[in-house]
């Protein structure tokens, strides 16, 4: 493993495993977020009390096993926000991994160490999880390719659950082609072939972008239009309160499921939690069951509607985040407001169980900024192929 100059890896946990002697990922290195089991190593989940109270894993997480079998070498376990329940990447126990491509700014979470390690060149690939944006947002902030797959396409065996109906296994890379190879190894079954034929522009998604961010993303939309023709404007959440309502359904599901996943441990052990996580659990345990049930019903309607509108031939374009990564020294209130605005974008794919790829093709004030593409259920491979097309110099120009 390369020397960790970024604070990306879990302190005191050195894990190096050689991959299979041959395979599509031979010669590549990867890291695993510290919610993925690695046999013989304690899965710490970003909290020292969790690490102290759990025995070493008996087996590798399925995703770790898949990458090793494909020939990639495991180079370490990376820092995560506590119990993967944040979007900032600032762990109160282990520190904030460095964002090599936006110095002085947060890397994004909860897959902070994984994004930091890839952006800083310590590994070629890194496993993360995405429940509410924990791959897509660090990818945008750190200038990486990152995919949240269709919910259920990649096994979560051996991965700490946060909100199971939202949890997915994701991956980071500095370029699109190795990320595609990684996901081919990770998918349980291959998806359908073909390509997208229609381009949709999320009007309400772009309305959430800061004006300067929308401006620098505009040329990327023109690149997409060079492939598909003029984009069709689409209001993603057309009824009622729009995305402001959708994010409340998302928050109810996330909070309710997170508390259900960890209530027994929190109440039995009384662990030392950072202030952000302690406040979040205090909020989560008070969510009425009726609100969670209503959110489940709304979610099914949302998922069905978007699956019908996208089909298997349309790709939806939107900003990954409202803007660039906030500064590390941003105040608590500013970070909470930013988190809420981010979730209004990330809740779309989460509620609808859809795949979403973030492309590191824009920058603002010298910092990375991602553009996202969402496809219909199971169109992950089409998104990855489109990402490769947009990355190549000979692809459609701005």
Q: First CA to last CA across the chain, in angstroms?
A: 39
Cβ pair 184, 72 in contact under 8 A: no
Which residues, listed in sequence order, are joined to residue 91 by a DSSP beta bridge? 95
CA 291/CA 271 separation, integer angstroms:
28
CA 131/CA 165 separation, integer angstroms:
9
Cβ pair 73, 18 in contact under 8 A: yes
Q: Which residues are CB-contacts of 40 (< 8 A; sequence separation ≥ 6)?
A: 56, 57
> Is 112 assigned a catalytic role?
no
Catalytic residue, candidates 29, 86, 134, 358: 134
CA 230/CA 198 separation, integer angstroms:
9
Output the furthest CA–CA distance in the chain (Å, rounded): 58
Question: 93 is written with which tokens?
Answer: 């126990």
CA 9/CA 122 separation, integer angstroms:
10
> Is 33 assigned a catalytic role?
yes
CA 103/CA 15 separation, integer angstroms:
27
CA 257/CA 146 separation, integer angstroms:
24
> Is 110 assigned a catalytic role?
yes
Catalytic residue, candidates 29, 75, 86, 110: 110
Cβ pair 313, 321 in contact under 8 A: no
Catalytic residues: 33, 110, 134
């Amino acid at each position: 493993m390369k020397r960790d100059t970024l604070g990306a890896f879990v302190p005191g946990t050195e894990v190096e495993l050689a991959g299979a002697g041959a395979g599509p990922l031979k010669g590549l290195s990867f890291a695993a977020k510290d919610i993925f089991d690695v046999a013989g190593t304690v899965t710490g989940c970003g909290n020292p009390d969790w690490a102290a109270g759990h025995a070493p894993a008996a087996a590798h997480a399925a995703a770790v096993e898949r990458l090793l079998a494909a020939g990639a070498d495991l180079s370490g376990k990376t820092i995560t926000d506590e119990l993967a329940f944040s979007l900032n990447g600032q762990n109160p126990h282990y520190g904030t991994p460095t964002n090599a491509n936006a110095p002085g700014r947060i890397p994004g979470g909860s897959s902070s160490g994984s994004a930091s390690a890839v952006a800083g060149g310590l590994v070629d690939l890194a496993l993360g999880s995405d429940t509410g944006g924990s791959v897509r947002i660090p990818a945008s902030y750190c200038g990486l390719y990152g995919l949240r797959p269709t919910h259920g396409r990649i096994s979560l065996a051996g991965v700490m659950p946060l909100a199971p109906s939202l949890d997915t296994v994701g991956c980071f890379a500095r370029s699109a082609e190795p990320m595609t190879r990684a996901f081919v190894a990770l998918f349980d079954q291959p998806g359908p072939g073909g390509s997208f034929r229609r381009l949709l522009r999320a009007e309400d998604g772009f309305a959430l972008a800061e004006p300067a961010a929308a401006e620098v993303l505009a040329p990327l939309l023109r690149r997409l239009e060079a492939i598909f023709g003029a984009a069709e404007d689409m209001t993603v959440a057309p009824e009622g309160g729009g995305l402001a309502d959708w994010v409340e359904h998302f928050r109810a599901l996330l909070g309710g499921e997170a508390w259900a996943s960890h209530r027994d441990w929190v109440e039995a052990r009384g662990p030392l939690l950072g202030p952000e996580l302690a406040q979040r659990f205090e909020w989560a345990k008070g969510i009425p069951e009726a609100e969670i049930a209503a959110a489940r019903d709304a979610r099914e309607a949302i998922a069905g509607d978007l699956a019908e509108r996208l089909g298997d031939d349309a790709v939806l374009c939107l900003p990954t985040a409202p803007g660039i990564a906030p500064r590390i020294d941003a105040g608590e209130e500013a970070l909470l407001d930013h988190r809420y605005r981010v979730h209004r974008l990330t809740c779309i794919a989460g509620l609808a169980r859809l795949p979403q790829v973030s492309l590191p093709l824009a920058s603002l004030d010298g910092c990375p900024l991602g553009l996202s593409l969402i496809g219909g259920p199971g169109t992950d491979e089409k998104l990855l192929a489109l990402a490769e097309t947009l990355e190549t110099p000979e692809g459609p120009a701005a």
